[in-house]
Amino acid sequence: MNLVEHLPALQVVLPLLSAPLAVLLRHGGIAFAVVTAGAWAAFATAIGLWLQVGEVGVISYHIGSWAPPWGIEYRVDRLASFVLLLVAGTAAIVLPWSRASIEREIPRELHYLYYAMFGLCLAGLLGITITGDAFNIFVFLEISSLATYVLIALGRDRRALTAAYRYLIMGTIGATFYVIGVGFLYLMTGTLNLVDMAERLRDVESSRPVLVALAFITVGVSLKLALFPLHQWLPNAYTYAPSAVTAFLAATATKVSIYVLIRFWFSVFGETLIFERLPLPEILLLLSLAAMFAASFIAIFQDNLKRLFAYSSVGQIGYITLGMSFDSVSGLTAAIVHLFNHGIAKAAIFLLIGGLVLGLAKPGGAPPAPTFDRLAGLARRMPLTCFGIVIAGLSLIGVPGTAGFISKWYLILAAMEAGQFWLVGAILLSSLLAIAYVWRFVEVAYFRPAPEAAGRQEASLGLLLPAWLLVIATLWFGLDTSFSVGSAAEAARFLVKVGG
């Protein structure tokens, strides 16, 4: 058996195997070891695939040795390998972090289920990214979504239950819309393989069922990626889920859905249909702007730090979709880079908030909600944690030297290239809103007096180290862009070339 040859299968199978093993062994500690090993193996596999794509180009792997389009094909190109790295990397960092945190947040007898669900969710997200089969995407989408609903419902607050329920309803409608769209495409083309489908669609491009399919798939996936008016499930789900789950989902779940949308728009339906015959770019532009302003504006007035950054996520997704709406290599590059940069910054922020609430908890007690009245003067008690949140927050604003600056820079370049100079003003203006909500945290944590004179009481090293790895990554990718922008630009060139 040649290991390198089978990396695409191992990418999904290793975390997928870890989940039932965790259930079978029924012990929190062993389950943690098994699932973490699975996530690390997935991360190593993702690195291997990224390197392999650099050497040989697109990798096609035939499950069960059935050649596509009959069999299921796993297909890894530059974009897929980039997203795989983000997903597997976040999981590899969040899982070790979560050991100390779920100890306090989830009853001990449920720990093995938490790890099993985490493994399933990871396998599902990786599967969506790697598979080249439209129906297989649906199956993996539901695997990851069902695991996500359970993970959110594990939150301690009872509102976690309603948040999970609401997400279940919205997520299932989204996934069902997607599968209806795929059904229409299958009726028209007789194939489920994305590459094959793209070729056969050329003949029936503007027939009505194809347009219906496009509408269903776009709306369904938009529900999943929380595009502005369809984001209602997101704030509560992020606020009441356990800290580790919030960090993982914020960095990966919506990003993978964006990946699916990019795949369908650019690789399957093709740019001529999307951008020339239909007013989709205008609609996406308006919704993106609405997200950038409305969601960021709502974020300023939140009293719960987790909810504040949840609304900020909706706003930041607006930047990604804005990049997609330009239909240019630079616009798509900006979108893909921001997908990555925002993912790591948000994961860092939510991990650090998780450390924060653990520090606020009474010894042995459950962590409280991070409302602003509890955070007053906290920078003196937990300097490293607060400083990390500030740096990652600067990346959300787009301050030079952080990763967020790079994505905004490319976004502005793309806007100027498209000749829409007013958008440059809009991007800068919406960044002011980000300054406002990050400043709220700075003001409370650094300038308000602490209620009681508590000494320094920093979060433990196990909580700080993974989070600071991500913070350093946001700084690193703000200075050295050869990996992030390099991959994104290559992926964007490939996508635009294939579609055009």
Partner 1 sequence: MSSGGVLEHFTYIVTVFLMVAGLYVVIARGNLIKKLVGLSVFQTSVYLLYIAPGKLIGGTAPILSPHYTVYSNPLPHVLILTAIVVGVATLALGLALAVRIKETYGSIEEDEITAADNAVQDAEDARS
Partner 2 sequence: MENDLVLRVVGKLLIPFILLFALYVQFHGDFGPGGGFQAGTISAAGIVFHALVFGLEQTRRIVPDRLVEAMLAAGVLLYAGVGVAGLLLGGNYLDYFVLDPDPIHGQHRGIFWVEAGVHITVCGVMLKIFYMFASRSQRKDDEA
Output the smallest distance, CB 173 to partner 1, in A: 7
- The interface partner of residue 47, options being partner 1, partner 2, none and the CB cut-off 5 to 8 Å by kind, is none
Confirm if 297 and 433 have CB atoms less than 8 A apart.
yes
Return residues touching partner 1 (CB under 8 A): 135, 138-139, 142, 146, 149-150, 153, 158-159, 161-162, 164-165, 168-169, 172-173, 176, 179-180, 183, 186-187, 192, 303, 371-373
The CA-based diameter of the chain, rounded to the nearest angstrom, is 73
In this structure, what DSSP letter does residue 62 have? Answer: E
Q: Is residue 21 part of the contact set for partner 2 (CB under 8 A)?
A: yes
Tokens 């993912």 identify what position?
343
- The interface partner of residue 65, options being partner 1, partner 2, none and the CB cut-off 5 to 8 Å by kind, is partner 2
**Nearer to partner 1 by C-beta: 48 or 183?**
183
The binding track of 49-88 with respect to partner 2, each residue x by CB under 8 A or -, is ------------xxxxx-----------------------
Output the smallest distance, CB 288 to partner 2, in A: 39
Select from 100, 123, 141 the least CA-distant residue to 46. 123
Burial of 447 (0-12, 13-18, 19+ CB in 10 A): exposed
Q: Which residues contact 67 (CB under 8 A, 6 or more apart)?
A: none
Q: Rounded distance, CA 247 to CA 346, Å?
A: 7
Output the smallest distance, CB 119 to partner 2, in A: 11
**Nearer to partner 2 by C-beta: 10 or 310?**
10
Q: Rounded distance, CA 212 to CA 332, Å?
A: 25
Output the smallest distance, CB 174 to partner 2, in A: 24
- The CA R_g of the chain, rounded to the nearest whole Å, is 22
Per DSSP, the residues of 462-484 read HHHHHHHHHHHHHHHHHH--TTH
Select from 256, 277, 287 the least CA-distant residue to 210. 277
Q: Rounded distance, CA 119 to CA 255, Å?
A: 18
Q: Is residue 32 part of the contact set for partner 2 (CB under 8 A)?
A: no
Tokens 């794509």 identify what position?
53
- The interface partner of residue 489, options being partner 2, partner 1, none and the CB cut-off 5 to 8 Å by kind, is none
Q: Is residue 500 part of the contact set for partner 2 (CB under 8 A)?
A: no
In 106-207, alpha helices (H): 111-130, 134-153, 159-189, 194-201
Output the smallest distance, CB 357 to partner 1, in A: 15
Confirm if 312 and 239 have CB atoms less than 8 A apart.
no
- Show the tokens assigned to 403: 């990763």
Output the smallest distance, CB 496 to partner 1, in A: 31
The binding track of 330-349 with respect to partner 2, each residue x by CB under 8 A or -, is --------------------
Output the smallest distance, CB 333 to partner 2, in A: 33
Q: Is residue 1 part of the contact set for partner 2 (CB under 8 A)?
A: yes
Report the interhelical angle of 305-325 vs 243-262 (nearest 10°). Answer: 10
The binding track of 227-266 with respect to partner 2, each residue x by CB under 8 A or -, is ----------------------------------------
Q: Is residue 278 part of the contact set for partner 2 (CB under 8 A)?
A: no
- How many residues lie near partner 2 (CB under 8 A)? 17
**Nearer to partner 2 by C-beta: 7 or 210?**
7
Q: Rounded distance, CA 19 to CA 84, Å?
A: 19
- The interface partner of residue 183, options being partner 2, partner 1, none and the CB cut-off 5 to 8 Å by kind, is partner 1
Confirm if 241 and 58 have CB atoms less than 8 A apart.
no
- Show the tokens assigned to 186: 């299958």
Q: Rounded distance, CA 238 to CA 39, Å?
A: 22
Output the smallest distance, CB 77 to partner 1, in A: 25
Output the smallest distance, CB 1 to partner 2, in A: 6
**Nearer to partner 2 by C-beta: 135 or 297?**
135
Residues contributing to the site for partner 2 (CB under 8 A): 1, 6, 9, 13, 16-17, 19-21, 23-24, 26, 61-65
